[in-house]
Each structure stands twice: as C-alpha cells, then as structure tokens.
Amino acid sequence: MLAAASPSAELFFLFASFFIALLFTLALQGELDPERARAMAMAAGAMTQAACYAARGRIPPSRVDATVRAVLNLNPRGAEQALNGAGSVAWGLRRFLRLAAKPFAEPCDEPVLYEMNRFIRLARRLRRDPRLESGLSRDLRRIGALSFEQRRPALAHAMDRLARALGEDEGVEGDRALAWLYGLRAAWLWRSLGGWRSPLAYVPRAITRAATQAVSEVVRH
C-alpha cells in the first residue's frame, strides 16, 4: 500500500508546480507575437464563456446557434473562425479579463474555474487518444448533416459518450453538453498554441492586451 504524501512532499510539489508555471509564463512574455497572442486570447475567452455556460447549465438562446456552428466547423481558417468570430466570444473575453485582473479567485468564481480546468483536462486526454479523436471527428461530420433541430440532442449525446470515454465520472446532457463541446474546442486550440494548464493560472500581458483589443474592436463595430 502506498503511504500518504508527507506535508513536506506536498509543499515541494506545490513549489515545483509554481516554479514551472512561472518559467512558462516568463517564456511566453518574450515569445508571443501579436497574432499568436490574439489567437490565445480568443481561446481563453471562448473557454471562459463555455465554462460560464456549463456552470449555469444553460446557454442563452441567442448564443445557441453560434455555439453549434462553431462546434461543427471542422475546417476553420484560423482561431477566430474556429470560435465563430470575436463577436461571438466578446462576452467571454470580458469575463476572462475580469478574472485575470483578480489577485485571488473568489468563491463565486470557483464553478467557472472548475469547468475551465475540466476542459483543459479533456483536451489533454483527447490528444493522447487518436482513436477517440478520430471518432469525435466522425461524429461531428455525421451530426453536421442533420437538421438544426436534430443537431443539439445529437451533440449532447456525442459529448456525454466522449466524456465518459475520457474518464469523467459524471454524465452531461442538454446545453451543458454543448457548452462542454465548445469549451473542449477552445481548450484544444489553447493547447495547440502552446497554452499550459488553465489560461487563468498565469496570464502573460500580451494575452490580456490582445483580449482588450479584441473587445474594443467589437464595441467599435
């Protein structure tokens, strides 16, 4: 039987995780070009938005169509098109910036942060399993050929099946399942751009600047 970790061992791993994350953030500060920073900001905003939807268990009716289109767009030209444009994630970008500005998370933020960490975890596990990845692509292509009324329940069923296959203990349905799919897409994009763990763990200034600029552009238009 494995012995429980000692307090000193837990403290060591805590500091080690902090140090690794700090090194990653410092590296990003010097490496992020404006295009990559904007793409990462879009992914962070979309992930935040999806996490808010998932925590509430509901997607606003005005956002359902855009969310479905983003999930089913399998051949996007760039990060913004993959997430259905800056206008579609402007609300999430604002919430991301508010969360990033806080020195510590508040209790009311915890459900959103929990869902964001879930998206990162699902994306990491999916990247390690090419069989499940190709199966999801096939499911999305098949669902894309259905009528709009049929797509939502089919997407929910596909996400529930995928989540269980990826080791999640709880099932998911309805709007929450659609939010998970959108969050998974954003997390996949975040990690493909070099993102490490949650976008809110340590936020490079280049990403917050890009997020602020994207929100300003949406407001001007």
Domain parsing of the chain, residue ranges: 34-220
Tokens of 12: 């060591």
Classify 196 as helix, strand or coil: coil
pLDDT surpassing 70 at residue 170: yes
Give pLDDT, residue 9.
Answer: 53
Give pLDDT, residue 31.
Answer: 65
In terms of Cα–Cα distance, which of 61, 65, 35, 41 is closest to 182?
Answer: 65
Q: Rounded to whole angstroms, how far apart are CA atoms 72 and 21?
A: 33
Burial of 72 (0-12, 13-18, 19+ CB in 10 A): middle
- 146: which residues sit within 8 A by CB, 6+ positions away? 154
Q: What is the mean pLDDT of residues 184-194?
A: 93
Q: What is the pLDDT of residues 13-40, one digit of tens each?
A: 444 454 445 444 544 445 678 999 999 9
- CATH code reported for the domain at 34-220: 1.10.3890.10
- 183: which residues sit within 8 A by CB, 6+ positions away? 46, 47, 50, 51, 54, 115, 116, 118, 119
Phi, psi of 170 (to 5 degrees): -100, 150
Q: What is the mean pLDDT of residues 94-112?
A: 92
Q: Rounded to whole angstroms, how far apart are CA atoms 201 and 26?
A: 13
Give pLDDT, residue 10.
Answer: 52
Q: Per-residue confidence at 8, pLDDT binned at 50, 70, 90?
A: low
- 75: which residues sit within 8 A by CB, 6+ positions away? none
pLDDT surpassing 90 at residue 52: yes
Give pLDDT, residue 5.
Answer: 45
Tokens of 153: 């329940």
Query: Cα Rg for the chain, rounded, in angstroms?
Result: 18
**Is residue 31 within 8 Å of residue 207, measured between CB atoms?**
no
Q: What is the mean pLDDT of residues 88-99?
A: 94
Within its chain, how far is the Cα of 16 from the centroid?
25
Q: Describe the chain by its helix, strand, coil percentages, rounded to 5.
A: 75, 0, 25
Q: What is the pLDDT of residues 119-169, one digit of tens each?
A: 999 999 999 999 999 999 999 999 999 998 999 999 999 999 999 999 998
pTM, whole model, 2 decimals?
0.84
